[in-house]
Amino acid sequence: MARATKKTAPTKAAAKKRAPAKKAAAATNGTGDASGMHISDQLAIEITSMNKWYGDFHVLRDINLTVYEGERIVICGPSGSGKSTLIRCINRLEEHQRGSIVVDGIELTNDLKKIDEIRREVGMCFQHFNLFPHLTVMENCTLAPIWVRKTPKAEAQEIAMKYLERVKIPEQADKYPGQLSGGQQQRVAIARSLCMNPKIMLFDEPTSALDPEMIKEVLEVMVDLAQSGMTMLCVTHEMGFARQVANRVIFMDQGQIIEQNAPEEFFSNPKSDRTKLFLSQILH
């Protein structure tokens, strides 16, 4: 008996949480964003009562999160709150132990084929770029399309050039990552992910390792991407970015989602004390 109730409880919680999320999404849509950021009714990611442990440490606790196609979600929170772990679970760089994650209609299990299938549709940018230093910028961008998607080389290069132009560094195509600045490297990393034509983009603190002068150029690319209708989940502390493009802000602490809301509401009228404290620390 006890088991049964335990099982149903999270789904209820999930249902409860889903409703305001949708409302929040509708709210931003309602304000009539001119840039054509459209949120569809199609589910992109559905996380249900997901839990994760590192050994004995309970890093993620009862995470329920539904993301619709075209949503731009900013996840913030103090360090160690599990926000990076959460988005790394979405493309299985980290394994969750309980609950379910469904990405683009595919549930994440130990099935390697399905994991690869999801990773093909989900792009990711890392704090430290993780470009391949032994390959040129062009080779970095064409590697996955050629070897994973079996795109012909010439076509892959054409696509890569298109995205390098979009991130405004086509002239660096033949250089090695080590010859570029941090901001340029992160833009290459974004282009590299886009070359796989992903449906969802994950950003794991993309500007945290950058010099102050280079943050803007990366954020501009991310704003441009958001305006093109990409589904995005960004772990970031760039609150200006959150205000500008996010339709939902999620605040996490101690492995849990504490609060989520539309950005205007989130910043002007935080509900939880923990959120208020956090915002007072980072917004001066």
Partner 1 sequence: MASDRAIEAYVRTEMVPEEAPPASTSGVIGWVRQNLFPNWWNAILTVVGLYLIYLVAASLIKFAFIDAVWTGTDGSYCRHDNNRGKVPQGEPIGACWAYVKAKFGQFMYGFYPEMARWRVNLTYVLGIALLVPFAIPSVPYKLWNAILLFGVYPIVAGILLSGGSFGLELVETTQWGGLLLTLVIGITGIVASLPLGILFALGRRSKMPIVRLVSVIFIEFWRGVPLITVLFMSSVMLPLFLPEGVTIDKIVRPLIGVALFSTAYMAEVIRGGLQAIPKGQYEGAMALGLSYWKMMGLIVLPQALKLVIPGIVNTFIGLFKDTALVSIIGLSDLLGIVQTSFADANWASPTQSATAYLFLAVVYWVFCFGMSRYSVFMEELLHTGHKR
Give Cα separations from 117 to 22, 102, 113, 148 (angstroms).
27, 12, 6, 10
Smaller CB distance to partner 1: residue 28 or 91? 91
Take residue 195 and report the two structure tokens written for it.
Answer: 């070359």
Q: How far apart are CA 86 and CA 75, in angstroms?
A: 10
Q: Which stretch binds partner 1 (CB under 8 A): 4-12, 117-125, 224-232, 260-268?
A: 117-125
Near partner 1 by CB under 8 A: residue from 97, 179, 228, 272 = 179
Near partner 1 by CB under 8 A: residue from 51, 130, 181, 227 = 130
The reply on whether position 148 binds partner 1 by CB under 8 A is yes
Q: Which H helix or E strand runs over 160? A: helix 153-166
How many residues lie near partner 1 (CB under 8 A)? Answer: 27
The reply on whether position 24 binds partner 1 by CB under 8 A is no
Smaller CB distance to partner 1: residue 196 or 219? 196
Output 106-110 pairs: Cβ under 8 A, ≥24 positions apart.
none
Binders of partner 1 in range 187-226 (CB under 8 A): 192-193, 196
The reply on whether position 93 binds partner 1 by CB under 8 A is yes
The reply on whether position 131 binds partner 1 by CB under 8 A is yes
Q: How far apart are CA 182 and CA 86, in angstroms?
A: 25
Report CA torsion sign: 67, 72, 76, 80: positive
Angle formed by the axes of helices 137-147 and 182-194, to 10°?
A: 20
The reply on whether position 91 binds partner 1 by CB under 8 A is yes
For residue 100, the minimal CB distance to partner 1 (Å) is 21
List the Cα angle 225/257/97 in 5-degree steps. Answer: 95
Near partner 1 by CB under 8 A: residue from 30, 80, 105, 133 = 133
Binding residues (CB under 8 A) for partner 1: these are: 91, 93, 112, 116, 119-120, 122-124, 126, 128-134, 143-144, 147-148, 176, 178-179, 192-193, 196
